[in-house]
């Protein structure tokens, strides 16, 4: 399937597994230059081999053409310095620009209010909310139109000087340009259906994803017309994160039982959510911003 993202620079946090990995593969197959951001370098290298369709990660040598469009950046999204380094790296290889940012890094903790410690609260909020905020803040200078506009000498602005684009209003940055010629830039945040309607037994997780939903709406207004900001809200998805959740539940419920609560009678695959991410990020959807999109098999429609 084609999304129109050929040669675009795409940064994906949480890209070593689950939804992020599936989105990375979809963008890569579409011809994009993909940068995975994650904490574990070993998992990152394994993810790269899976994206190009190789399961044997021990003796594999990357074809040069594939490696040129696919890189892993070791970074912790809860640390501002790491986020800035990740943005600088992607911006450098992207010739001063980042076209698409997908904030997929996230954690889930199933604990009722009385069992939540301050450490639990901080960890969930740090990854799910602060990590999203810091990555957007770090990547924004490389996503503004001037990040790839010619300077007075007719040369492209470098990644190192793109930071200067933080200053000035949106009107100033696009003055003299035909709006139809402005390059499409898009941020896709991954929240959850729990951020829309809440859920049992995970109040802090719900609060964190609700914050991502609100952040998306606010930034869609602040960043217009330069950068589109949208939010995908999946229900339960068959990912390693879900497997970890089931393991901690110690058999109190199964994947099949979880699916029975959905109008479509099952949970989603990571690839199904990745398709929505790529569609939203596509230039074909250049008029979509501030949208909160449930991908939950009809669950939120039940009220």
Task: State the burial class of residue 175 (Cβ atoms within 10 Å of its Cβ: 0-12, 13-18, 19+).
Answer: exposed
Q: Cβ distance 104 to 189 under 8 Å?
A: no
Q: What is the pLDDT along the chain (303 residues), one digit of tens a residue?
A: 899 999 999 999 999 999 999 999 999 999 999 999 999 999 999 999 899 887 665 655 555 565 679 999 999 999 999 999 999 999 999 999 999 999 999 998 888 999 999 999 999 999 999 999 999 999 999 999 864 443 433 344 455 555 555 444 333 443 444 444 447 999 999 999 999 998 888 999 999 999 999 999 999 999 999 999 999 999 999 998 888 888 888 888 888 999 999 999 999 999 999 999 999 999 999 999 999 999 999 999 987
- CA dist 179 and 149 (Å) reads 14
The predicted structure's pLDDT at residue 172: 41
The predicted structure's pLDDT at residue 135: 98
Domain ranges of the chain: 9-297
The predicted structure's pLDDT at residue 181: 42
Residue 42 DSSP SS3: helix
Per-residue pLDDT tens over the stretch 204-261 = 999 999 999 999 999 999 999 999 999 999 999 999 888 888 888 888 888 899 999 9
What positions carry a catalytic annotation? 205
Global pTM value:
0.86
| Four-residue CA torsion sign, 181, 279, 27, 145 | positive
Alpha-carbon dihedral of residues 256, 260, 263, 267, nearest 10 degrees?
Answer: -20
> How is residue 201 annotated by DSSP?
T
Q: CATH classification of 9-297 is 3.40.50.720, yes or no?
A: yes
Cα 228–274–129 angle (5° rounding)?
Answer: 60
């Amino acid at each position: 399937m084609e999304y129109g993202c050929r040669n675009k620079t795409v940064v994906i946090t949480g890209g070593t597994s689950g939804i992020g990995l599936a989105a990375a593969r979809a963008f890569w197959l579409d011809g994009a230059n993909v940068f995975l951001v994650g904490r574990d370098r070993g998992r990152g290298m394994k993810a790269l081999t899976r994206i190009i369709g190789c399961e044997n990660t021990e003796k594999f040598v990357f074809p040069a053409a594939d490696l040129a469009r696919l890189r892993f950046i070791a970074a912790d999204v809860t640390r501002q310095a790491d986020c800035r380094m990740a943005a600088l790296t992607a911006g450098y290889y992207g010739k001063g620009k980042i076209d698409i940012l997908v904030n997929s890094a996230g954690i889930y903790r199933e604990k009722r209010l009385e069992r939540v410690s301050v450490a639990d609260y901080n960890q969930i909020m740090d990854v799910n909310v602060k990590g999203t905020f810091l990555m957007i803040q770090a990547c924004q200078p490389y996503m503004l139109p001037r990040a790839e506009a010619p300077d007075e000498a007719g040369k492209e602005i470098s990644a190192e000087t793109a930071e200067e684009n933080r200053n000035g209003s949106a009107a100033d940055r696009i003055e003299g340009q035909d709006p139809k010629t402005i390059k499409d830039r898009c941020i896709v945040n991954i929240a959850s259906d729990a951020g829309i309607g809440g859920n049992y037994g995970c109040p802090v997780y719900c609060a964190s994803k609700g914050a991502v939903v609100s952040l998306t709406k606010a930034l869609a207004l602040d960043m217009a017309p330069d950068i589109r900001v949208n939010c995908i809200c999946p229900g339960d998805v068959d990912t390693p994160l879900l497997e970890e959740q089931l393991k901690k539940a110690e058999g109190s419920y199964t994947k099949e039982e979880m699916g029975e609560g959905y109008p479509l009678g099952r949970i989603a695959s990571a690839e199904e959510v990745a398709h929505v991410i790529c569609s939203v990020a596509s230039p074909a959807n250049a008029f979509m911003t501030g949208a909160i999109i449930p991908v939950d098999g009809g669950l939120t429609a039940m009220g």
